[in-house]
Structure 1
């Protein structure tokens, strides 16, 4: 190999090395140019914070909505306890059940004084039918279809309801007890502007309960306003009270604030009402007497009765 060929070979090798170096530089530049950008941690964190706030706000709105909606509870009998047995209605995915028309309709209360504030029996019966239609919009787990028609009930109380911060709008309450034996439950329903807006259950005393008088555990909505309005009730306030009595009880009296009443006894239930003109902190006091006038029950002596309002 002569000198010219050697120089050409060296130049060729140098050119390949220069090309290789340049190619490496280009590849390195491209790798930097097209490298995925770093994860935007500040943006991700900000999005996570916003999402958490959105969920908290949604949960808060749901709680407010639940607080604003009258509770729909069903306390279907059972023994005495210190707390309510309740179930909040959940919208049903099936079509609402409408009560079947019944020519007989509900039975009348035992005394005319159980229909108050100008509410007629026809209005109370119509309210009960709307209550049962409202009840038909929530899924039932007990399978008790006998509660779907008005003729299975006796209306034991109807009175005006005062709207508060938890259940706005004035309307009326209708309380209807089962007519069949044994008496296990009643319905407490609230009607506003001709529509049922809240429904709960009133439980009768269990047969084994030794107490001759049993104040309904869900009946507090009849004699108290929302805890949100504690100390600032709308007055005058029409109140009511229902519960179960045993056959040995001949008379029940109720005192509440500046009002008092003798309860009507209606097929195993006692029903009392009055008008409150002052703010109260104590629940109604209930006394039961036998046929000889002896005191057989005093709610102040009943360890299961909540004497103080929430």
Structure 2
């Protein structure tokens, strides 16, 4: 190929390249990319987010309604399937309520039978009387040497054994109410309190066991005489009718106790190792109550007439 032919080919190629450049330049102005459909994309994204939120909410509701007792089985360490409790899910955390501890008792225990509350005296009145008796003791204890005073404790330490009308006499004029109560721990304390005009007027107590180690199965309270007799100043001239009471201790083998006084016999109530008897006296007497005790077979195991330590006559 001669030089002239090469120049012709170059010219032809050059014209083609020039035309191509012109075409590309024209496309740069005429061929533009399509605009981005932003509104459509935004709507699609919003719809998608709402769909996901709705799906998540449905899943949460499904989990929430699972029963509390639902279980999931998990493989045990020994190859056994064990039931593991799965707590229910809830959007609100609930705190388990702590039970309120019951308050300690503030009143004494009731007697074993309703028949130990006499003459229309209610348990509430007897309990209030016991409170007054203990306050009376504390008031009289102030200023005394502590070694001669036994702390009687609080009312809820006691059990009411007897509540009955008290008949006034020459030594203690005016009718009132007797309250008899016992405390077993930490040591046995028995108190007999006389209440008149709403105030404690006299208090008698015994601490520990009344009798010797070889005491019989039934034993009358050593200081219980005030419950069944009037003042020796009025001997032969008692106020009648007269409400009387009688208390003492019994051993476990004793199943029944009777107390005869003034020609009438009373069946005693048994109350946690104590016996309590009462009645109405309609005649003047000089002989102390007569006590008998029986075992579960009805056999006589105690007779006060045969007890050398028992005072059989009144002073």
SS at the partner of 1:125? helix
Aligned match for 1:255, one of 256, 260, 276 = 260
Partner of 2:135: 133
The aligned residue for residue 154 of structure 1 is 159
Is this contact kept in 1: 2:211–2:219, CA < 8 A? no
Q: What is the deviation of 1:131?
A: 0.4
Summarize deviations over 1:126-166 as a string: whole Å, max 9, x none. Answer: 00000001111223435643x22001100000000000001
> Equivalent residues in 2 for 1:191-270 (5 A)?
191-202=195-206, 204-206=209-211, 208-270=213-275
- Farther off after superposition, 202-211 or 254-263: 202-211
The TM-score, its normalising length taken from structure 1, stands at 0.64
For residues 192 and 143 of structure 1, do their structure 2 counterparts lie closer, same or farther at Cα, with a shift above 3 Å needed?
closer
**Residues matched between the structures, number:** 207
Structure 1 residues without counterparts, runs of 5 or longer: 1-101
Does the CA-based 8 Å contact 2:266-2:278 persist in structure 1? yes
Match of residue 189 from structure 1: 193
Question: If the length of structure 2 is used for normalisation, what is the TM-score?
Answer: 0.63
Inter-CA distance 166–114: structure 2 relative to 1 (3 Å threshold): same
When the two chains are superposed, the root-mean-square deviation of aligned CA atoms in Å is: 1.6
Alpha carbons of 1:209 and 1:141: their partners in 2 closer, same or farther (altered >3 Å)? farther
Q: 2:304 aligns with which of 295, 299, 302?
A: 299
Cα shift at 1:260: 1.7
Q: Establish whether residue 166 from structure 1 lines up as the match of residue 171 from structure 2.
A: yes
In 2, Cα distance between the equivalents of 1:143 and 1:222? Answer: 24
Per the TM alignment, residue 181 of structure 1 is displaced from its structure 2 partner at its CA by: 6.2
Q: Deviation at 1:208?
A: 1.8
After TM superposition, which residue ranges in structure 1, 4 or more long, deviate above 6 angstroms? none
- What is the CA distance between 1:206 and its match in structure 2? 4.3
Report the CA distance shift for 1:178/1:209 in structure 2 as closer, same or farther (over 3 A): farther
Aligned to 2:115: 113
Aligned counterpart, 1:287: 292
